[in-house]
Chain A
Amino acid sequence: GDSVTQMEGPVTLSEEAFLTINCTYTATGYPSLFWYVQYPGEGLQLLLKATKADDKGSNKGFEATYRKETTSFHLEKGSVQVSDSAVYFCALSGGETSGSRLTFGEGTQLTVNP
């Protein structure tokens, strides 16, 4: 079935450091890919999305490119801030197995220190 694998956390960075959180997927068909962010005590917020190969999703300085050849959707940000501290989830839907369901990765805890 469809699956999503994220790099293991937690990740700790200093403010203004470069961020990469790796995400790879396994799916048949043509899935859409998403990154969600969850701040402490809150629900998940959609951060960005990409619906087809080579699409780049971007929002709030974060970017991710849908790479079908490497089945990846890595999240990047050039300069992180303390306020970016949160848990980040990679997810997919629309694969032949997942259909209308979201398949999530396990999440990556990011802590940014001043």
Chain B
Amino acid sequence: DAGITQSPRHKVTETGTPVTLRCHQTENHRYMYWYRQDPGHGLRLIHYSYGVKDTDKGEVSDGYSVSRSKTEDFLLTLESATSSQTSVYFCAISEAGVTAQYFGPGTRLLVL
């Protein structure tokens, strides 16, 4: 299994508070991705990174920001959490942009 961890694994927070999710990899892969998974919507890409400090938006990036200051870590920040951001968040990595992506175990976020 690819070495990908996500923290925290579960989080409950209140509307309006900032939240940061962390993805950590030990594979030295160049690409990292953040997805959210919701019933009826499948997986949707939030942001991705193609190198240290190189990031781009996905299809549902509003309300989210990301940072990647070193190869192994990719942070997802909800600046001011809303109930619509209640979801399961998955991080993924890939060696090159068109190769297979490997997913982390996910973070369950509940915004009250």
Show the binding face of A for B, using Cβ within 8 Å: 32, 34, 36, 42-46, 49, 89, 93-94, 99-102, 104-107
Contact = CB atoms under 8 A, between A and B. Distances in A.
B100 interface: yes
A100 B31 contact: yes
Contact of B97 (A36, A93, A107): A93
Contacts of A32: 98-100
Contacts of B50: 100
B103 interface: yes
Nearest to B4: A43
Interface residues of B, number: 22
Contacts of A46: 100-102
Nearest to A4: B42
Nearest to A44: B103
Nearest to A43: B103
Contacts of A104: 42-43
Given A44-B90, A94-B98, A100 B104 contact: no
Contacts of A43: 90, 103-106
B3 interface: no
Contacts of A93: 97-99, 101
Contacts of A45: 103
